[in-house]
Structure 1
């Protein structure tokens, strides 16, 4: 290399490079420290729970310990002589909490050590509130609490994001917390027979996986707005409420298969019901019902069931139908022109957009 030749030497700011690496190292160490603390805390929690459980068991009598082990203990697997199906069934049962009978007035204290549970089946007790440790049961899939004395659902229920089925029927609920809308995997929700329940929070419209909604035997005067936005809903039970009409946008429920609206005060059904292609069953009370869509009645794929709650009304309806059939036969013999006019009139109803869409009771008198 000649003495006169020039060489370009790149110049770097070493302090800048060192600063970048120090930030990266610091971030990595912080993450590592947090992970270690999390693991230590988890291990300490398990050890602490085990010791608390052992101490608690020592305070019990032998008979009480046996009762406790029946629904709490899961330390051993079945005998090796058992079949694989029996083993799986036994393990599954150990993941279920079952309480039944009016001797239960509160959840057992030992429940705090059962956060591994998958299902709760609590029925016919005097229990009035859910335990404070409820949000710790993040693995819960089924929560069945029918026929108890529960007066409210805590907002913490929204922490149970794995929950697929919730049954709080026949309790004493007067409201539902909006946090329930955070249970995004919920597929079945039963809230029947709470008597004081008259509305649902709009936040429940985020339950896109919900296929079964039962809010029968409550005080709803209209369908909750959130229910019309549950796009995956297949069964809707609104029976035994105070409904006087159904909304015109019922066809928003594009996957609805079964609709129960009997034991209400409906006088007509909206035309939009006939636009739901998946609909297979509709059950209504016909005491006050005078108008239904012709398409709904004539569709052979739909079981349209009219229930008569009032025996007198049922008898009058039967007599009216017999009379109309007799008159129809007599007039059919007289002249076929009037029959053609009747058929033309009924077919014209299919093109109307007015509400009610059509009527099943048509009375026409012609002066010849």
Structure 2
């Protein structure tokens, strides 16, 4: 054997490498944060908005421009606005309030709309959006500018995603995104702590809610029906002000044993699921008045819940499971009929094949007695009516 060779194997301290990369990542994040703060404090966005506002004002009629200026003056000088209002009569004050409220609402409907109108981005004074029945797929980037928005009704559209910026709408109190195409809800929605009503029904691909929604302590109405939930989201049990909870038409198989954490719950919709029992803890909710459940698969009900005079237990016998069983029976019946028809056809074909076989045998037998064999033969089927 040759002389022994010494090989130098470098030894690295993994903790040292990890520390180096952690420092780099930390510096990079700090740099990103400073850049974001710089952009937010920059006057460029404000200047651009002012110029866009001036351009938009040129498209308005004199009366509309006057009303807009009046609103902006009142919003910046609340005390003066109150003083001027006191000088008006009751009818005049009501008319002015109605006019102001009407000017603060934006409405858009019709399937011809595939995007938001461009001039909407300069109407940041709006308080309500009502978008219905359009083909719009996503919310605009300038939504974050509408800091005074309290109502966002965008039901029955084609929206596939909610932007994370929705969490910056601090004044939002009502959000309706039902019957769209959502598959997820952004965790940033939990920052809208003044939210009182949340409708997410009929999105069909929605199967979970982020835990961050637990911070919605003022939420009183939650509708997540007609989706794909297999269990109640954990965040739901932490919404302590919840009064109405709609979980109908999902894929629930049981309810958690700590449902009584919803101490202010009044109405509970859990029909059209796969529930076989109701937990006893529901009877501990003193405010609970109505429970709607499907009765087909329900086999166990707490006696305390049934005998309670304060709770109306409504059982609907139209469970999805029953419909599935009925559909399955119909399919089996159709399958049996098809099988019967197939067998009848096979028997008919067997009879036909046997007749053809007999014909061929007789025909070939007749050829043996002939001197010449025909070049081709046409088989003719003759039926006689006697």
Corresponding residue of 2:56: 53
Corresponding residue to 2:126 among 111, 117, 126: 117
Separation in structure 2 between the aligned mates of residue 139 and residue 182 of structure 1, nearest angstrom: 15
Corresponding residue of 2:68: 74
Residues 242/71 of structure 1: CA separation in 2 closer, same or farther (3 Å cut): farther
- SS of corresponding position for 2:120: helix
Corresponding residue of 1:323: none
Separation in structure 2 between the aligned mates of residue 247 and residue 72 of structure 1, nearest angstrom: 57
Corresponding residue to 2:249 among 240, 243, 260: 240
Asked if 1 retains the 8 angstrom alpha-carbon contact of 2:295 and 2:316, the reply is: yes
Corresponding residue to 1:293 among 293, 297, 302: 302
Deviations 1:53-91 (A, max 9, x none): 256x3xxxxxxx78xx999973568xx997321221111
Q: Report how far residue 312 of structure 1 moved.
A: 12
Deviations 1:21-47 (A, max 9, x none): xxxxxxxxxxxxxxxxx8987984564
Q: Which moved more, 1:38-47 or 1:237-246?
A: 38-47
- SS of corresponding position for 1:121: strand
Asked if 2 retains the 8 angstrom alpha-carbon contact of 1:71 and 1:94, the reply is: no
Separation in structure 2 between the aligned mates of residue 310 and residue 43 of structure 1, nearest angstrom: 56
Separation in structure 2 between the aligned mates of residue 254 and residue 213 of structure 1, nearest angstrom: 15
Deviations 1:156-207 (A, max 9, x none): 0000011011000000000000000000110110000000000000000011
Corresponding residue of 2:313: 304
Separation in structure 1 between the aligned mates of residue 205 and residue 307 of structure 2, nearest angstrom: 38
Separation in structure 2 between the aligned mates of residue 112 and residue 306 of structure 1, nearest angstrom: 49
Q: Map of 1:1-368 to 2, 5 A cutoff?
A: 44=47, 47-54=50-57, 57=59, 74-75=68-69, 83-309=92-318
Separation in structure 2 between the aligned mates of residue 70 and residue 191 of structure 1, nearest angstrom: 36
Instruction: Give the gaps of 5 or more residues in structure 1.
Output: 1-37, 58-64, 315-368
Residues 54/234 of structure 1: CA separation in 2 closer, same or farther (3 Å cut): closer
- SS of corresponding position for 1:289: coil
Separation in structure 1 between the aligned mates of residue 114 and residue 44 of structure 2, nearest angstrom: 33
- SS of corresponding position for 2:189: helix
Separation in structure 2 between the aligned mates of residue 47 and residue 71 of structure 1, nearest angstrom: 15
Q: Report how far residue 250 of structure 1 moved.
A: 0.6
Deviations 1:237-263 (A, max 9, x none): 000000011011111111111100001
What TM-score does the superposition give when structure 2 sets the normalisation length? 0.64
Separation in structure 2 between the aligned mates of residue 94 and residue 43 of structure 1, nearest angstrom: 23
Residues 71/239 of structure 1: CA separation in 2 closer, same or farther (3 Å cut): farther
Separation in structure 2 between the aligned mates of residue 175 and residue 312 of structure 1, nearest angstrom: 26
Instruction: Give the gaps of 5 or more residues in structure 2.
Output: 1-40, 72-87, 324-386
Corresponding residue of 2:354: none
Q: Report how far residue 49 of structure 1 moved.
A: 2.8
Q: Report how far residue 112 of structure 1 moved.
A: 1.0
Larger RCO (CA under 8 A, 6+ residues apart): 1
Residues 72/210 of structure 1: CA separation in 2 closer, same or farther (3 Å cut): farther
Residues 54/301 of structure 1: CA separation in 2 closer, same or farther (3 Å cut): closer
The structure with more helix, counted as a fraction of residues? 2
Residues 48/170 of structure 1: CA separation in 2 closer, same or farther (3 Å cut): same
- SS of corresponding position for 1:220: coil
- SS of corresponding position for 1:74: helix
What TM-score does the superposition give when structure 1 sets the normalisation length? 0.67
* Greater gyration radius: 2
Q: CA RMSD in A?
A: 2.9
Separation in structure 1 between the aligned mates of residue 115 and residue 308 of structure 2, nearest angstrom: 51
Corresponding residue of 2:76: none
Q: Report how far residue 311 of structure 1 moved.
A: 12
